[in-house]
Structures are given as C-alpha cells and as structure tokens.
Structure 1
Amino acid sequence: MVGRGNKPTALAATPGLAPQPTVTFSDDNSKVTAVLPTGESVEVLLYGATVISWKDDQGDEKLWLSEGAKLDGSKAVRGGIPLVFPVFGTAPDHAQTGKLPQHGFARTSRWEFLGKSTSESAEGKEAADLSVKLDFGLSTGSVDEKTKELWAYAFNLIYSVTLNRTSLTTALVVTNDDDKPFECQVLLHTYFKIKDITAVEVTGLEGASYIDKVDNASVKTESSANLTITGETDRVYTPTGGPQAPVTIKENGKTRYSVVRDNLNDVVVWNPWIEKAKSMGDFAPKEGYKNMICVEAGSVRGWQTLEPGDAFEGAQTITLG
C-alpha cells in the first residue's frame, strides 16, 4: 500500500459530559435520594418532605435518626430534619392555629416532588462547585380534609433541599393564596449526629435572649460563649448577631457543623437527656440522647403575618467543619 504524504489528522474525541449528580426514587416512591459524583448524598421522604440522611463523601452520616423512627407515614419522623409549619409546639390561645397538633401539619403531610436542578457541568471547574437541588411542594389542594378543617387557609409551600460537597441548604417558601391574612411560624428541626454530647459546645449564642422551656418558659440571657449540655435542654434563642452570624456545633474543640440562617431569627437548642428520652416511645436507643443535638433554625418567638398574595422565605445552610 502506497503511503499518502498528507494523512488526515485524527479526529479529536468528543469530550464526554462531566459526571453529574444522580436522583433516584425508592421502589415504593416514598423517598428521593440524590448523590453527587464525588459520593455525598441526601435522602428525603415525601412524607413530611423530611430529610432523613445526609452523608459526606466517606459515607459518614451527619443527621441523627432514631432507630424507632416511623418512616411509613404513620407519625412524624423522629430525627433528620422535620419541617415545622404553621405552628411551633402548640398554641391553644392562638385563634388561627390553636386546634392544630404539635408542630402543625407540614411534617405529617405527603409532599409532591417537583423536580431537580443541578449545577453546571463541572468540566473545567472545581468539584466543589457540584450541587443538586431537590424541590418539593405542598398546598391546600394536597392536604387532607381534616387539616383543612383545622387550618382553613389557602396556602402554597415550596421546600428546596440543596446538596453541595461540604454543605446542605434547606429553604422554605410560604405563600398566602387566600383572600385573608394568616399568621404562621416556621422551623427547620435539625437533629445533628454527634459522638458524645458531653464533649459538645454550641457557640454563637452569647448575649442572646432565650426562652427556657424547661424552666416555665422564663426569659433569660445566655452568658456563656460556649454552651454545654448537662441536662434536659429546650431553649428558644434569638442570637444577637442576626441570621448571618454562624451558630456552630463543636465537639472536643473542633467545629463539626456551622449553621447560617436566612430570614430566620431564632435558634432552638434541644436535647431530651435521660428521662425525657425514656418517655418518648419512638426515641431509640434510649441512650441516643448522647449522640444527638438539635440546633433548629426558625421564626418561632412571634408570628409571621402574611397578607393575601404575600410570601415568606426562610432558609438555613449547614456547612461541615
């Protein structure tokens, strides 16, 4: 075969798309799981739109989930990140929410998965830019008749869960679709997984006014720069630095989690300790209080009033230490 003097150069291979996040449903369509190409993952139950798992690229779980948690829709999930709306706790003297069960109905309603969105291709970018956002919806038309009787307002909720390599953002948008105003409270009831509660300190609360629910709801001021947990703790703080000032969870002096809030002025710190843990049927193991702490971003010391057509948005971003 005679060689040709001017061979065509080889065609450049078509560049493949960079690995993308994957989103899958469980076989029974009860749960959505998102995984980044680098291994980080998040799992969200459609029941309550409850985040029940958040793992880093090594597969280490960041959220505490009770071994006795009900994941079948029979009751609110004990652990993960339950959504509190439109009332925090109970408010028997509040005209609009007084008949609702504890923490309202968002955490015990089945949400609709609205879709996913991902960050742009990581090609030519750092892997740290990778992210996936999952959107969930709940509205007047999708709650049961009993809920409509207890809370007779037209509303729309959009909940977004965004997974990044080193952070998780959860954001709730509340819209008043009614022709009359309503009042509401919002809380992201996050259960953080830790190794030893006696080695934990919470910072960012010094000087904050708080309601001590373990002490007859008395109002106090936090004097410690490093809050430690030594017994049953149930406090509603309003940090002095505002939502953008981080509240951190340290263990053995090292930052494990840092929480920055958007439009959520309050932070609830909760640990049931020994006796309260024993009294809760779905709290397991009973010694699990040693391995969890709730630091919950919310707007709960007062009420958000939404006029017809108005919307309220609140969010938290949790960054790994």
Structure 2
Amino acid sequence: MVDRANRPSALSTPAAAAPGAQVDIVGTGANSKVIATLPSGESVEVLLYGATVTSWKSNGGKTENLWLSEKAAVDGSKPVRGGIPVVFPVFGPPPKSGHPTSSLPQHGFARNSRWEFLGKSTSEDALDSTSVKLDFGLYSSGLTEDTRKAWPLDFGLQYSVTLAKDSLQTIVNVRNEGDKSFEFQFLLHTYLRIKDISKIAINGLLGVEYIDKVLNASTHQQKDESVTITGEVDRVYASIPQDTTSVVEAGKPRFDVVRDNLSDTVVWNPWTEKAAAMGDFAPNEGFKEMVCVEVGTVKGWQKLEKGEVFEGGQTIKSIL
C-alpha cells in the first residue's frame, strides 16, 4: 500500500442545531390565540382578543403563574377576567365629561379589541433557546367604527410579550401617528396566582402615598413594610421610587414585579362581596387564590405630541 503524505482528515459532523421555541396560532376568529413553548417546557398563551395573556407557566411548564376565572370569556364577547389584560387609553371609569376619553368604556378599548400578531423572535445560546418574544399590534385602522367615533385619534400600539425560563416580560410601545397631541393612561392588569391570600405579603411600597378606592378615594401613606390582604383592597400607589414590588407567600419569595418606565402600581383583591357580584368571577372563593399587582401610569395623564413615542412595561420573575 502506498503511504500518502497528505491523507484526508476525517469529516467533522456539524453539531445539531439547538431546539427552538415552538410558536403556534390556534383557534379561529375571536378565539384565536398564540401559544409559545420553550424546549424546557415553559409556556405562554396570548389571546388575540385584547392581546390578553391568559396563561404563563414556568418551572418546566409545571407551575401556572396567572389566575384566570373559570367563567372568563375567551370568545371575544367581553374583556377577559384574569391573566394580563391591557388597559388603554384610560384606567377605570373615564372622566364624566370634557375629556377625549369620556365616551369610552371603563379601562378603554385595548382589552376588548382584536390585535394583530406581528411575529416572533428568539434568543439562543449554544445549548438551548432561552427566550421567545411575541409582538402584537393595534392601530387606529383596526378599531370598530363606534370606537373610532369615541376616540378619533391616530395611534399605534405594539405589545411585546417575552417568555424566558423564569420570567415574563410585557412591554407596550405607544406612538402618536396623528397631527394632534393626545393624553392617555396605561396599565397591565396582572392577576397573579397564589395559594392562600391570608399568607401573602406585598413588599416594596413602604412610605409610598396611595389612593384608597375602598375608602372613598382618600389619600394615605403606606406605613407598614408589607401590604397584607384581609378584606377588599383597591389601592393606587403612585410615584414609587423603587422599581421592584415583591410578593412573598408564607414567608418565601414568590414573585418580583419589576416596573420599566412606569411609576404607579395598583394592588387589588375583590374579596367576598365584590367577587360574588361579578358574574364572570369564579369560583366564588377564587379571590383567595389571586392578587392583582398592576403596573402602569394612571395617576394623571401621559401626553404625546405628534410623532412622539412612549414605552413602558414590566418583568415578572417567578421564584420557586
């Protein structure tokens, strides 16, 4: 046999591509939703009606972090009770008269309008797909005729929902696409799933002034280190200096809610009577397994001039 000086080297086998996040659109019409699942099992579901996040599972897909009413309407007939509804351009009942939002329903129109799914993007490392971002859009042209009459202003909303192994980020981008300035409020009405409301403490609000809607919208200051829930709670904490509000359950950290360019947080639990009065709230004792920690800009109004953009949102970290 001839000994060749330059033998061909063995061909190296290319490494298999890292598994990517799976994104599916399921359902039709008002029931359509986008489901994203990481290779490690974490998942998020976003209903196109309202761009409402209805499920977020961490811990390899074993732990549901959001509370969704058993009677929640997910057919586009009304806003969803639970998950993360998007509140825009007004929070709560609109001003009675003299304001551009006065003709809108409570919490505005974003949560009961059909959004467009704009696509996905992923972040990958050598071993795994570590996150997936889903983008949704709502524009003036996509509103109903009645809504356009009630709020005849030109705008664009882009909502980005980013799922990672232990966190969910939800960011809204608001653009003024018209010739006139407009004012708005914005809130992410997040329903966090917990095991026992009597064992919950909400930290990070010490010293902050709040409006207590249960006590005739009177103003108070948070004097205790922790907010605990022993009855109906509906408070608007404004101009919070620190970015993180933490939810502790039975003495152990459960959630960190980190605000991004937002100054306010609403803490809400309907308790017995108010839960019973809501036809889409179920089970009746469901208030014991949820607490709303809602980031937003709702004390006063944000103003956008022609061509200006506002962006804000949150990152929720699930701690187990």
Q: What's the TM-score once normalised by structure 1's chain length?
A: 0.94
Q: Which runs of 5+ in 2 are unaligned?
A: none
Letter in 2 for 1:41: S
Match of 2:118, SS state, is strand
Aligned match of 2:318: 320
Aligned match of 2:131: 131
User: How far apart in 2 are the matches of 1:163 and 1:111?
Assistant: 19
CA contact (8 A) 2:43 2:61 kept: no
User: How far apart in 2 are the matches of 1:13 and 1:187?
Assistant: 51
User: How far apart in 1 are the matches of 2:239 and 2:88?
Assistant: 21
Aligned match of 1:60: 63
Match of 1:289, SS state, is helix
Match of 2:149, SS state, is helix
Pairing partner for 1:110 from 94, 97, 114:
114
Counterparts of 1:106-255 in structure 2, within 5 Å, are 106-119=110-123, 121-123=124-126, 127=128, 130-238=130-238, 240-242=240-242, 244=243, 246-255=244-253
Match of 1:278, SS state, is helix
RMSD: 1.5
CA contact (8 A) 2:91 2:298 kept: yes
Q: How far 1:58 moved relative to its partner?
A: 3.9
User: How far apart in 1 are the matches of 2:110 and 2:303?
Assistant: 18
Deviations 1:218-253 (A, max 9, x none): 0110111011000000000025424x2x10011001
The sequence identity of aligned pairs, in percent, is 56
Aligned match of 1:310: 308
Q: Number of matched residues?
A: 314
CA contact (8 A) 2:240 2:264 kept: no
Aligned match of 2:257: 259
In the alignment, structure 1 residue 83 sits paired with structure 2 residue 83: no
Counterparts of 1:41-52 in structure 2, within 5 Å, are 41-52=43-54
Match of 1:149, SS state, is helix
CA contact (8 A) 1:207 1:239 kept: no
User: How far apart in 1 are the matches of 2:316 and 2:41?
Assistant: 18
Q: How far 1:9 moved relative to its partner?
A: 4.1
Pairing partner for 1:275 from 263, 273, 276:
273
Q: What's the TM-score once normalised by structure 2's chain length?
A: 0.95
Letter in 1 for 2:306: P
User: How far apart in 2 are the matches of 1:283 and 1:253?
Assistant: 28
In the alignment, structure 1 residue 34 sits paired with structure 2 residue 32: no
User: How far apart in 2 are the matches of 1:143 and 1:4?
Assistant: 78
Q: Which moved more, 1:24-33 or 1:282-291?
A: 24-33
Q: 1:158 to 1:195 in 2, by over 3 A?
A: same
User: How far apart in 2 are the matches of 1:38 and 1:187?
Assistant: 30
Letter in 2 for 1:33: I
Match of 2:141, SS state, is helix
CA contact (8 A) 2:45 2:56 kept: yes
User: How far apart in 2 are the matches of 1:123 and 1:289?
Assistant: 43
CA contact (8 A) 2:169 2:313 kept: yes
Q: How far 1:216 moved relative to its partner?
A: 0.5
Match of 1:38, SS state, is coil
Q: How far 1:95 moved relative to its partner?
A: 1.2
User: How far apart in 1 are the matches of 2:158 and 2:296?
Assistant: 16
